[in-house]
Structure 1
């Protein structure tokens, strides 16, 4: 029994939280009015996530008072602390004050790398500490029905959604030349994973399933892309380009981030925006592959087919834009 001291109580209310795309999330209220968060892992999540890595980070974050405290785990889920708060909405992202708060929150999360640094500090895509490239390699391999995860065997296999492994590796090599410090990244900071505390108004990030070491450009790009998604709207699986942050909104966000970042570097606003633009390509690829896997295994009511198709189209469009801007050689197919 996870909580023997609560054995004399029963569940008074079980409320499912909408908008979760990997797990089923519930608020559990007991008869003494205590509340907890229950996460039930989605079908096939072990192919998408490294639960051991997630629990390791939750153990590291709890002493730092980051996010919700982990209370207990079971075979296919866990209980977390309930934080008296309200979840941000899609509209909140466009609020100038809230956007600055989110930029500050990301800067604070990224600074955790100073407390828990990776074992290797090389920014190259071969760095085993990074989450993104091994993750993409694993998902690409799964979609090829290929049990091997070595790049050499992947390059000789069939393309996934018209994307070859050679194309991905060519872009990896290009990104090796784009300076982007390795940070502790949330990697999924959409509005549903940000809470506003009722007592203080402070913002708190939750749901660190995909968290780990990544280039800061990736994490910042991922959040900016999330401006286009309203998971509680009429078409939750589709991006709305008209909601993408405008130039002045990007500048305001980046300025707030740089003002609070632990690295007091000479990085300019334009340099960081270029860094973000370059890494946005990888965000589209990552979540496009994720959507294809979820399409075949998830039981959550979400149009993964439409989501993945659009994300992979956005990947190709963003890739072509960066190629044109940066003179990247296109691999022959």
Structure 2
């Protein structure tokens, strides 16, 4: 009798699945995000019995829940279910953070997940409920920010990202980046805080200045003709897992995924080398970036990538790296207002926006110099 790692929804729900006709079981139940693990377990048992009918006769002693390392948006739990035949099935439950609909398009996420899973990315989507989802459990460790810069891992991330960008997700292929930033800006620029200290910090922000920066950056990046791909958009260390025994890398959590610009996904990933502490001295050097680019542009023959292609992607990534700072800075303001999770979101805004301002002139100059050699801005 052993542990079963569920890799296909049919193993749980008994319904037919394929990439063209994807059906996922749904429950109208909700699970309180704030409950401690002992208190949340009975609710999870009720949820599982509702979602997965062949577990409906199991009593609560067959279910064991434990909290996994938390992010700053959602709550993640592992649930082990001992079946009547003695096998233990392990699945992951993701409970959405309260008010995350202000920054995440759940319909877009739920549309993408089954197609990404069919392409080999992330865990399988087994079921959904009103404020979360159940997915297969991945036996792997979450990476640390310092892991991402290791040459071998960086090359593997680059290769997988290239494959990820080639997945076809149904629906409009229009890039959503600037639409999302516009929505974030409107929400972030009309907030009030009951806490006087927070309100005073918020008042220091010049949203007119931020809006001007968005306009200038949108215009600049528009000259780069960056390819539009289905992007992960949140490729930080917490969304990368690695099985050391199998030497297998996994991308997880596609809640910010959308059609976007190639350079944004890569530049955003490079920003995450700094970790949540925002130590931007850890941003990858040009040599480290070129190592990544080579394995992204030509996974099979990385050393055959031309200098011209490397320079083009370097400029593209550098410009969209700036966009990433504005995106997450505005996101942080909304989270400060809406999220009950303990995190210094307001401080995070200033860390990201200040880094944007520090890098802005250098990056604009690089882009304008590059563009002047090939076209007129």
| TM-score category (smaller protein) | 0.7 to 0.9
1:156-171 alignment, distance < 5 Å: 161=207, 163-171=209-217
| Unpaired segments ≥5 residues, structure 1 | 121-128, 147-158, 230-236, 329-333
> How far is the alpha carbon of 1:254 from its aligned partner?
1.0
Match of 1:87? 142
Residue 247 of structure 1 is aligned with which of 269, 286, 291? 286
User: Scaled by the length of structure 2, what TM-score is found?
Assistant: 0.73
Partners of 1:61 and 1:324 lie apart in 2 by 37
Q: Number of aligned pairs?
A: 298
* Whole-angstrom distance in 2 between the partners of 1:309 and 1:164: 12
Please name the residue that 1:290 is paired with. 331
Instruction: Give deviations 1:247-289, integer Å, cap 9, x for gaps.
Output: 221111111111139xx99752121111110111100000000
Q: Tell me whether 247-256 or 37-46 shows the greater mean CA deviation.
A: 247-256
| SS of match in other structure, 1:20 | coil
Distance 2:146 2:217 in 1: 33
Q: Distance in 2 between matches of 1:193 and 1:272?
A: 23
Superposed displacement of residue 161, structure 1: 4.5
Task: Sort the Cα spacing of 1:143 and 1:91 in 2 relative to 1 into closer, same or farther, 3 A.
Answer: closer
Aligned mates of 1:268, 1:252 — CA distance in 2: 13
Residues 257/23 of structure 1: CA separation in 2 closer, same or farther (3 Å cut): same
Residue 317 of structure 2: aligned partner: 276
Structure 2 CA distance, aligned partners of 1:160 and 1:72?
43
Alignment of 1:1-333 (within 5 A): 1-7=50-56, 8-10=58-60, 12-32=63-83, 33-112=88-167, 115-116=168-169, 119=172, 129-145=174-190, 161=207, 163-197=209-243, 200-229=246-275, 237-260=276-299, 268-326=309-367
The structural deviation recorded for 1:13 is: 3.0
- The Cα RMSD (Å) is 2.4
2-structure distance, mates of 1:327, 1:182? 21
1:205 to 1:9, Cα distance in 2 relative to 1, 3 A: farther
